[in-house]
Amino acid sequence: MAVQISPSILSADFARLADEAAAVSNADWLHVDVMDNHFVPNLTIGLPVVEALRKAADTPLDCHLMIEDPDRWAPAYAEAGAGSVTVHVEAAKAPVRTLRQIRSAGARAGLALNPATAVESYADLLGEVDMLLLMTVEPGFGGQRFLDVVLPKVRRTRELITAHGGQVWLQVDGGVSAETIERCAEAGADVFVAGSAVYGADDPARAVDALRALAEGAAG
Ligand code: DX5
Ligand code: ZN
């Protein structure tokens, strides 16, 4: 279980996205938060920006779709060259079909759960996913406070993944920082999204290294 860091460009300077991507070239992924002002009360970026960023950045894109009707839109993000495309269970009407379409288009398929959504209902879908994303804030905005209440679910999810064979990555997203990342790693997360903790730092690349070291230490 290798630690991976996925800085969220939601906290980057949108006018300088290529530079902001290059500033974290030591990261494993670039986390792209797609919001439609319907599934969440915020509006960010969509396909044209993902297409442009893919050409401008060397780091693979980890697209997190916080949108209604992800069944319609998710395959296009995979076709646009995203390395990973994650849809929310609360929004997907045909998650199995959509996850399969993401994989057929050549991307890793992710399934995201809001803080109050139980993971047990999705245990049978583990064979269909490459990553589970557990939100550790209510989705919609960067810079929110980490929700400790999700940690027991992180532990239970790690147990489900281990029982299934251990191939599925477990991502946490929201409020992940030097203060909270060790708790997440101890609970079993292995992919860490961090927006404000990376782009709010004076040196984003150093922040990535520091977060990675903390997570690796805590994961043992
Ligand atoms: C929130 C987004 C997160 C956000 C994380 O809805 O999904 O990816 O950018 O930002 P921080 O790390 O600042 O909580
Ligand atoms: Zn996100």
Contact 34, 45 (CB under 8 A): yes
Q: Which residues surround ligand 2, an ion (CB under 5 A)?
A: 33, 64, 173
Tens digits of residue pLDDT in 58-112: 999 999 999 999 999 999 999 999 999 999 999 999 999 999 999 999 999 999 9
Q: Which ranges in 95-203 belong to alpha helices (H)?
A: 95-104, 151-164, 181-187, 196-199
Q: In 10 A of CB 82, how many CB atoms? A: 30
Would you state the pLDDT for residue 1? 77
Would you state the pLDDT for residue 166? 86
Residues of the chain with pLDDT under 50: none
Q: Where are the domains of the chain?
A: 4-219
Would you state the pLDDT for residue 182? 98
Would you state the pLDDT for residue 196? 98
Q: Which ligand 1 atom lies nearest to the CA of residue 174?
A: 14
Would you state the pLDDT for residue 79? 98
For the chain, the helix, strand and coil percentages under 3-state DSSP, each to the nearest 5:
45, 20, 35
Range 4-219 has CATH code 3.20.20.70: yes
Contacts of 152 (CB under 8 A, 6+ apart): 187
From 6, 9, 10, 113, mutation site for ligand 1 pocket: most ligand atoms within 8 A of C-beta: 10
Q: Which residues line ligand 1 (CB under 6 A)?
A: 8, 10-11, 31, 33, 64, 137, 139-144, 173-176, 193-197
Q: Which ligand 1 atom lies nearest to the CA of residue 195?
A: 12
Would you state the pLDDT for residue 95? 98
Catalytic, 28? Answer: no
Would you state the pLDDT for residue 215? 98
The reply, when asked if residue 200 is annotated as ligand binding, is no
Q: What angle do CA 167, 72, 106 make, to 5 degrees?
A: 40
From 37, 65, 137, mutation site for ligand 1 pocket: most ligand atoms within 8 A of C-beta: 137
User: The tokens of 125 are what?
Assistant: 């879908």
Would you state the pLDDT for residue 53? 97
- Determine which one of 28, 62, 130, 173 is catalytic: 173
